[in-house]
Amino acid sequence: VTKEPRAKSAPSRGQKGWPPSLEFLSSGPNDTFHSFVAPLAEMTKLSYTSTYGSYYNESDANATVEGWARGRHEANPAGGGMRALTFVQAATGRGVIAFRGTDLNPLGVSGQADMCADAVLAGEPLRAW
pLDDT, greater one: 79 or 39: 39
Cα–Cα distance, 121 to 98 (Å, whole number) = 22
Among the listed residues 120, 77, 93, the one whose alpha carbon sits nearest the alpha carbon of residue 15: 93
For 3-19, how does the pLDDT look when each residue is reduced to its tens digit (9 = 90+)? Answer: 444 445 566 666 789 99
Strand, helix or coil at 75?
strand
Find, among 83, 59, 62, 68, the residue nearest to 38 by Cα. 68
Q: What is the pLDDT of residues 95-122, one digit of tens each?
A: 999 999 999 998 988 899 889 999 999 9
Amino acid, single-letter form, for residue 26: S
pLDDT in tens, 20-73: 999 999 999 999 999 999 999 999 999 999 999 999 999 999 999 999 999 999
Strand partners, 74: 85
Separation between Cα atoms, residue 97 and residue 36, nearest integer Å:
16
